[in-house]
Structures are given as C-alpha cells and as structure tokens.
Amino acid sequence: MLKVGVSSGLVRTFSFEKAVDIIAQTGYRDMEIWMEHLESCKLSNQGFLDYMRRFNMEYRFHSNVCDTNLTSKNPGIRAESVRQVLNEIEKAAMLGGRILTVHPGRMSSSKDIAEEFWDMQFEAFDLIAKHAQKFGILVGIENMELRPKEFVLTSSHINKLFASLSYPSVGLTFDIAHCMSVEEPLAFLNRLNAPIVNVHMSQYAQGLMHLPMYSEKGIIDMIEVWRRLETIYDGPMIIEGFIRNNEVENLTRNLYECEHLFRQYSNS
C-alpha cells in the first residue's frame, strides 16, 4: 500500500513544535525531521516523545548537512562531520527514530577528481554503519543530485559504495528527483544492488530540483516509479516539493496531488 509523509523542511520557517502541529492538521501522519529543525525544539526527550504521540505521528530523521562534509580534504572538518553523524545516530535512538538519512561526502573543489575521495567515503560510512548497528538505527545514504563536487550520483556509484559495506544497518535513501538529474529512475532501480530504507519524492524539470508534486513543469512519471518501488519498498515516500512562500498551502497541495495520483495508480 502506498504511503506518504513529508519533510519538516517544507515548513522550516516555523518552530519545530509548530511545524509538527501544521503537518498533522494538514493530514499527514508520517514525517522526516531535519536535525537542524529539531534544534529549535524546547522539549525534553520525553516531552518530544509525548508530543509526537499526541499527533499519532510516525517519524524518521535527516542528518544536518549545513557546512559538513564526510570526505572533506580538511581533516578537522572531516572528523567533525563524522562526529556529528555519530551523535545524531545516538540522538535518533534516544528519540525513538529508526531511520536517519545521511548525505554522502563530496569533493572539496570542483577541480578535484572523484577517485581521490572514495577511500574517505568508505572509511566514513564504515564508522557510521558500525555505530548505527550498535544503537539500532538504520542509516539511509542518499543518492545525490547533479551539481558540482557531488560524486555519489548514479546506481553504479551507489553499488560501488555498498559493495564496501556489509552491514544490515545501512541502506539507500532513494531521492527520485536527485536520480532524475543523472539517470532515469526505472533504470536506476533496475540496476540497484542495495536495499532501500527511505524514499524522498518531489518533481524535477531540467535542472530545477525539488519542485512540488503538483508542479506543471515536472517531468517525472511518478506512477511508473511507484509501480516499481512497490515491489522493493514498503515504507512511506517523503514529500520534499518545496516553495519558499505559502508553506501551509504547499503542504496541502502536495498531499492533494499525491492522493489524486494514488487514485490514478489504483485504477491503472
């Protein structure tokens, strides 16, 4: 059965508590909480758990990506970036979250060569996977979009990374729009040799990333992607279709569009 959730980043201008309230009132029952959004939360750990139960809200977490890089050439930045992810794993475990999405490391300069960074990528995720296993957390490594310095993009890149990770504590956070910027999603999924533990969903159009699901510019055939995903993944798909204004209206329209497409999918 298809299920939908939403990223707290879509209402990032609100406090965490207010964002949860808005998301629940809109009709969502699953959300992905960005760790930097959680920093605005004044609740204790138990207060957080009670607050989420109040709304009957399922949730997962997304690692803070601001100014961090797991494969930075600067050893201090690299070490701090890994340390933050390890701490977020522990935080997610304390707050009852099962999944933490993490961005892979990237090159430090657009003039760098990707091959110089793979060993650092392997090393970082080996540490992360071991720590996640210890705390009972699933880490979803996200496939990235086509932009300067990223080098974990295609299905072959993902397969290369997972060939070095023999841990049940790691899987893929499959970002549909990111994928569309480098590889047709069905081809990506058919070539993939890694378990999917989370899905990010938004529309894409010729370099325009994370468009709302209702965007007329979007070129992704979501129904075809869902048909393939449903054979290998049974969790929620987290909406990331973002606009900077009218956040509440955007939440509603994204959900309405998904419900409309779900009806089409069920009848196809």
Task: Please compute the mean of the pLDDT values over residues 196-200 and round it to a whole number.
Answer: 98
For residue 232, pLDDT over 90 is answered with yes
pLDDT band with cut points at 50, 70 and 90 for residue 266:
confident
Is the pLDDT at 1 greater than 70, yes or no?
no
Percent of the chain at pLDDT exceeding 90: 94
- Judge whether residue 244 has pLDDT over 90: no
Q: Which residue has the higher pLDDT, 6 or 268?
A: 6
Contact 172, 197 (CB under 8 A): yes
User: Does pLDDT of 170 surpass 80?
Assistant: yes
For residue 245, the model assigns a pLDDT of 86
Average pLDDT, the chain: 96
Question: What percent of the chain has pLDDT above 70?
Answer: 100
Q: Minimal CA–CA distance to 201: which of 182, 217, 183, 223?
A: 223
| Dihedral sign (CA 238, 240, 241, 246) | positive
pLDDT digits (tens, 9 = 90+) for 4-46: 999 999 999 999 999 999 999 999 999 999 999 998 888 999 9
> What is the rounded average pLDDT of the residues 165-186?
97
* Sequence-separated contacts (24+) of 36-44 with Cβ below 8 Å: 36/64, 36/66, 37/8, 37/9, 37/12, 40/15, 40/16, 41/15, 41/16, 41/17, 42/17, 43/17
